Amino acid sequence: MPGPVNVRLCFHNHCFDGAASSAVFMRFYQSRIQPNSEFHFTGMAHRASALFDSDTFDGDENAIVDFKYSSSPRVTWWFDHHQSAFLTPADAENFRHDASGKKFYDPNYKSCTKLIADIAGKKFGFDSAPLAELIHWGDIIDGAQYPTPESAVEMREPATQLAMVIEAAPDSGLPARLIPEMAVKPLAEIVRLPMVAQYLGPLLERHKRCIEILRERSVCSGGVIFFDVSDLDFEGYNKFIPYLLYRDAIYSVGVSASPSRAKISLGSNPWNPRAVEKNLASLAETYGGGGHPRVAAISLDPGDIERARQIARDIAAQLRD
C-alpha cells in the first residue's frame, strides 16, 4: 500500500482563529479528501522580512489558512479572510487566475474558521456539525462579537481561556500541538490538557497585571486610546482591555515588542458604532501592515522600536482628526 499523503499546513501562529481554522481544515481534508494523510504544521508570524522561506512548502500537499497568499506553485490549498491578504499586486493577480478550485478568499467573513467550514460544506460535502462549538467561538473571538467588554476580558469561558494560552504562552510550538486536539475534542476538555493547564494559571495572573498596567499607561484623547508597553513582555495581551477601561473610546493604538518584531496594534471599539468610520487595514497598509477594517497591525524589525513609536503617534493623531 502507498504511504500516507504528507500535508504541510501553514497557519497564523499564536492566533485562536489560526489554530481553529487549521483544525477545521485538517478534519475536512481527512474526511473528504484523503483519509490516509499525515499533517505537519508550521506557525507563521507577520514580520518585516519575507514571510515564506524557500523550503516552507515541503509536503505532498501544502496548505495555508488564515495567512497571506503565496504564489508558489507548490501551494495547493489556501483560505483567508483578511483585507490585506496579498503581499503584492502580482500575488493578487496570481490568485485571480488560479483554476485549481482549492483557493478561497472572502474578506466579508469574520473568521477563517467559519469560511473554511462553509466552503468545505458547500463545495465538498463536509459535515462541520461536530465542530460547531469551535466554529462558533472562532467567529466570536476573531470577529470581536462579544456582547460586552466584560465577556471579552473576564476569561470565564473555556474558549477565551484557550485563546489566551494560544496567543500568549511562551511556547511557540504549542498552537501546532493543539490543532489535532481541537479537531476532535470539546474546548472544556482541551483547557484541562496538561500542555494547556500548565500555562493557564500563570497567564491568568499575567492577564490581571496587564489590566492594571494598561490602566496606568493608557491615555484616551479625542476618542483614541494610546499606550506603549514595548518595554514589557506583553505581546499577546487581551486587545479588548482598553475598551473596558475607556468604554466611550472609538479606537486604540498600542506599541509592543518581542524578540522577532516591533508591533503597532490598531483596534476599534466593538461596542461603539462610530468605530466603523475608519478602515484600519487600509491605514495600516500605508505603513506596510494590514489586517481587517476593524483591527489591524504593523510589524517592523525588532530594532525599529523608535520608528514604531513614531508611526503609532502619527496614526493616533490621524484617528483623532
The answer to whether residues 319 and 301 touch, using CB atoms and an 8 Å cutoff, is: no
**Residue 173 shares a structural domain with residue 258:** no
Q: What is d(CA 265, CA 224) in angstroms, rounded to the nearest whole number?
A: 13
Which of 1, 44, 11 minimizes the C-alpha distance to 299? 44
**Residue 248 shares a structural domain with residue 312:** yes
Structural domains counted in the chain = 2
Domain of 283, in residue numbers: 218-320
In a domain, 206, yes or no: no
Q: What pLDDT shows up at residue 296?
A: 93
In a domain, 201, yes or no: no
In a domain, 33, yes or no: yes
Give the tens place of pLDDT for each residue, 34-81.
999 999 999 998 765 557 877 899 999 999 999 999 999 999 999 999
Is residue 87 left, alpha or beta, with left meaning phi > 0 and alpha meaning psi from -120 to 50?
A: alpha
Give, for 112, the enclosing helix (H) or strand (E): helix 112-124
Give the tens place of pLDDT for each residue, 90-101.
999 999 999 999
Q: What is d(CA 250, CA 222) in angstroms, rounded to the nearest whole number?
A: 9
**Residue 244 shares a structural domain with residue 161:** no
**Residue 228 shares a structural domain with residue 309:** yes
**Residue 10 shares a structural domain with residue 149:** yes
**Residue 131 shares a structural domain with residue 224:** no
**Residue 57 shares a structural domain with residue 146:** yes
Reported pTM: 0.90
**Residue 229 shares a structural domain with residue 291:** yes
CATH number of the domain to which 153 belongs? 3.90.1640
Mean pLDDT for 245-257 is: 96
**Residue 273 shares a structural domain with residue 155:** no
Mean pLDDT for 249-265 is: 93
Range with the lowest mean pLDDT among 41-55, 124-138, 141-155? 41-55
**Residue 19 shares a structural domain with residue 148:** yes
Q: What is d(CA 296, CA 100) in angstroms, rounded to the nearest whole number?
A: 30
Q: What is d(CA 8, CA 64) in angstroms, rounded to the nearest whole number?
A: 8
